[in-house]
Amino acid sequence: MFEGQELVALASYQLWGERIAHVAFATHPLFRGRGYVTAAVSALTKIVFERHLVPQYRTLETNSASMDIARRLGFIEQATSLAIRFHPNLPPSLV
């Protein structure tokens, strides 16, 4: 998505296996909240369906803006993942 000549948001997907299109996206911080990512993900999802793939949208449950985008576009919650980050000062023997 462009505003004038400036790239402000994008969406892409990575093929997982033969059927899953894992959707990824980004917005320039100064252009968040203007609907650019919603439009980009919507357009990409249409392409994914045209290619007979299944779109997968993943985000953190705490990322309310991203969760809102997913819901607005019709994605429904199917599963939850657990991510664990180790404290950076843990001794190597505990990692």
Residue bearing the bigger pLDDT, 89 or 38: 38
Residue 94 has pLDDT above 70, yes or no: no
Q: Is the dihedral of CA 57, 59, 61, 67 positive or negative?
A: negative
pLDDT at residue 82 in the model = 81
pLDDT band for position 16 (50/70/90)?
Answer: very high
Question: Is the pTM value of this prediction over 0.85?
Answer: no
Whole-number Å distance between alpha carbons of 94 and 65? 35
Contacts for 57 with CB less than 8 Å, ≥ 6 apart:
23, 41, 70, 73, 75
pLDDT band for position 89 (50/70/90)?
Answer: confident
pLDDT at residue 95 in the model = 58
Of the candidates 20, 21, 23, 1, the residue with the CA atom closest to the CA atom of residue 10: 1
pLDDT at residue 40 in the model = 94
What domains does the chain contain, in order, with CATH numbers?
A: 2-94 (3.40.630.30)
Residue 90 has pLDDT above 80, yes or no: no
